[in-house]
Structure 1
Amino acid sequence: MIYFILLVLAGCDALFMFLYMHPAFGGNPSKAEKEAYQGLANFRNGKFINPTATKISMSPSDFFSMIKESLSRAKETNPADPIPVSKIDWSFINSKEDSFTWFGHSAFLLSMDNKKILIDPMLGPVASPVSFVGSKRYSHDLLPLIDSMPPIDAVFLTHDHYDHLDYPSIRRLKNKVEHFFVPNGVGVHLIRWGVPKEKISELNWWDETKYKGLTVALTPSQHFSGRGPFNRDTTLWGGWVILGQQTRLYTSGDGGYGDHFKEIGKKYGPFDLTLIEGGQYDRRWESVHMIPEQAVQANQDVLGKTMMLMHWGAFTLAYHSWTDPIERAIQAAEKEGVQLIAPKIGDTVRLNGELPMPHIPWWKERK
């Protein structure tokens, strides 16, 4: 029995050292940083909190139902074949015209006022701290695209989950990015990965700043954070408002539906384009992820003129069909009279008044 106990203790020690030493897990806010957050309305007892109380149901019955669904719906939750990525139009991206390019899930390359901006640039092959565990990308590895990108003026991160903040992507990007904008606390991960502190701006909800003529603000979302078992909610999460001379853009980040969307619309709307999360939903975590119909409503709340659904098309993190988010969103948008676009992964979309573009159901070819 004593040998078994020693083996368990040794295993626990090895796990702790792995979590502590592996750089992909990022850093942790210091005691001084946590003390600085104490006066914030959205920080309590060492943790950031949501505008409305949230709950993720993980009872024993929920756990076993997840296993059952993952097995019974395995063929639906992933495309039958790898998703092709459109040939990137670098010449247009490098032009002065406002545009965006989608890399799947929540990763975008924007051109606004001739500034090149990345949002949640998760371009790695797996949404996990290690390559051998986690949801694998539907398409081929996109990390090599970073080498072809122009110099990046700014990266905007919405939170520190692995499907949004990717260690391999940041390591490959960091030397071609001028500045990083992140929610409170997220900077510790970047600093551990070699990004100089002076290149990072941390914001709280409703903080607003100027950057190279752009107005940027961090807005609330109803979600959570953490890259390991011991740092849940020690960093903040949110969405971003980015306002240029020609284009007003809002990206929601991850989060459940709530009254904060109307507040965002009242303060910063209308928006020419909204990037709204509406994939990876489940009844067990309905308060921290929207279903597609709620995403369409959120677009209306923030006064979006044209909407794009995001958080789908790259990874399987829930148990619905991988095409369910976009098909439900299109149906809801048509019912509500919302202009919704659905470009292919890798397509560059002009933001010059030509929106919306017609639906081309490319995902039906991959079922």
Structure 2
Amino acid sequence: MIYLFIFLVILCVVITLFLNLNPVFGGTPSKEQSETYQTFNNYVNGKFANQVPTSMAMSFSDNFSMMKESISGGVNRTPASQIPVSKIDWNKINSKEDSLTWLGHSAFLLSIDNKKILVDPMLGPIASPVSFAGSKRYTGDLLPIINSLPPIDAVLITHDHYDHLDYPSIRKLKDKVSHFIVPLGVSNHLIRWGVPKEKITELNWWDETELQGLTVVLTPSKHFSGRGLFNRNSTLWGGWVILGKNIRFFTSGDGGYDAHFKEIGKKYGPFDITLIEGGQYDRRWSWVHMTPEEAVQAHLNVNGKNMMLIHWGAFTLAYHSWTEPIERALKAAKEKEVNLIAPEMGETVQLDSDLHIPIFSPWWGFLA
């Protein structure tokens, strides 16, 4: 018995040291930050909270069924072969034209008013704090793309989960980026990774900031945060509104469907294009991720004109087939008369001219 006790103590010490010393887990809000957060309506009992009470507890049967599905696998949960990335047209990206380049999952490069903005630039090979466990990227490592990127005016982060905020990507990007705009608390991760504090702006929900003539707004979402075992909801999460001279843009960030989308639409809509998550859903966590049908409805609620589905095509984080999200979204969009675009990863879409190209041959159909 004494040996078991000693083993458990040593194990706890090792885990604690690993969590505290490994930089991938990021930083923690200071005492002063936490005291400031307590003045906000969305900070309750030392944690950030959703606009509506959101329980993330799952029943024993749900947990058991998830374990069972994890072991048994599923049909077409990953592509049959590695997904190729479309040859990137750097001339389009470097031009002054408004454009959008999807880099898989929720990562994309946006050019509005000739300002280059990266959102959730998770370009690393695995969505995990460790290399030996976690979901591997379908395309392989995209970190080399960073070498060819133009200077980035801003990086926007929706929240601190590993499939959105990636340590290797930020470390490689930080010297190419003029500024980082993040939800409350996320600055502590970036500072630990070598980003100067003066290059970071933190926002609460509905806060606005100016970026070289653009208006950038952090909007609510119904989700959660945390990178370690003991820091859940210590940082905020959300979506982003970006308003330019000709383009009004919205991306949802991660989150379940709720009334906040109509509120966003009333305050900042209509939007020329929306990027809405609808790719890693399950009835057992319906409160924090949308189905494709809910994503299409969220697009309508924010008063969007054109839509793109995100949070799919790069990682397997749920139990449906990897192509199901876009297939269901296309069906729902057709029923609701929504123009849904589905470019290849790496393809640059010009926002003034390429938004009504019909999908004749879905690229994912050749890889399923």
Q: Does 1:240 align with 2:249?
A: no
| Displacement of 1:140 | 1.8
| Displacement of 1:356 | 2.1
| Offset from partner CA, 1:28-47 (integer Å, 9 cap, x none) | 00111000111101001110
Which residue number in structure 1 is paired with residue 225 of structure 2?
A: 225
Which residue number in structure 1 is paired with residue 259 of structure 2?
A: 259
Which residue number in structure 1 is paired with residue 194 of structure 2?
A: 194
* Structure 1 residue identity aligned to 2:255: G
Q: What SS class does the counterpart of residue 143 from structure 2 fall into?
A: coil
* Structure 1 residue identity aligned to 2:199: K
Q: Does 1:35 align with 2:35?
A: yes
| Offset from partner CA, 1:273-295 (integer Å, 9 cap, x none) | 10000011011110110000000
* Structure 2 residue identity aligned to 1:208: E
* Structure 1 residue identity aligned to 2:60: P
Q: What SS class does the counterpart of residue 36 from structure 1 fall into?
A: helix
8 Å CA contact retained: 1:73, 1:320: no
Q: What SS class does the counterpart of residue 296 from structure 2 fall into?
A: helix
| Offset from partner CA, 1:58-95 (integer Å, 9 cap, x none) | 33322220122223343421111111100111111001
Which residue number in structure 2 is paired with residue 365 of structure 1?
A: 366
CA distance in 1, matches of 2:215, 2:203: 13
CA distance in 2, matches of 1:71, 1:83: 24
Kindly, what percent of the aligned residue pairs are identical? 68
| Offset from partner CA, 1:161-216 (integer Å, 9 cap, x none) | 00000000000000000000000000000000000000000000000121101011
Pairing of 1:1-367 with structure 2 (within 5 A): 1-359=1-359, 360-367=361-368
| Displacement of 1:353 | 3.8
| Unpaired runs of at least 5, structure 1 | none
Shift >3 Å, 4+ stretches: 71-75
Q: What SS class does the counterpart of residue 274 from structure 1 fall into?
A: strand
| Displacement of 1:235 | 0.3
* Structure 2 residue identity aligned to 1:93: I
| Displacement of 1:55 | 2.3
CA distance in 1, matches of 2:135, 2:94: 32
TM-score, length basis structure 2: 0.98
CA distance in 1, matches of 2:13, 2:75: 38
CA distance in 1, matches of 2:95, 2:354: 17
8 Å CA contact retained: 1:79, 1:322: yes
CA distance in 2, matches of 1:315, 1:89: 24
CA distance in 2, matches of 1:214, 1:62: 44
Q: What SS class does the counterpart of residue 172 from structure 1 fall into?
A: helix
| Displacement of 1:246 | 1.6
CA distance in 2, matches of 1:74, 1:97: 42
| Offset from partner CA, 1:215-271 (integer Å, 9 cap, x none) | 110000000000001100010000000011121100000000010000000000000
Q: What SS class does the counterpart of residue 83 from structure 1 fall into?
A: coil
| Displacement of 1:130 | 1.2
CA distance in 2, matches of 1:321, 1:55: 27
| Displacement of 1:113 | 0.5
| Offset from partner CA, 1:126-154 (integer Å, 9 cap, x none) | 00011111000001210000010000000
CA distance in 2, matches of 1:3, 1:258: 51
- The root-mean-square deviation of aligned C-alpha atoms, in Å, is 0.9
* Structure 2 residue identity aligned to 1:364: G
Q: What SS class does the counterpart of residue 19 from structure 1 fall into?
A: helix
* Structure 1 residue identity aligned to 2:254: D
* Structure 2 residue identity aligned to 1:71: I
| Displacement of 1:321 | 0.7
* Structure 2 residue identity aligned to 1:314: A
| Unpaired runs of at least 5, structure 2 | none
8 Å CA contact retained: 1:55, 1:285: no
Q: What SS class does the counterpart of residue 153 from structure 2 fall into?
A: strand
8 Å CA contact retained: 2:74, 2:320: no
8 Å CA contact retained: 1:56, 1:284: no
TM-score, length basis structure 1: 0.99
| Displacement of 1:110 | 0.7
| Displacement of 1:13 | 0.6
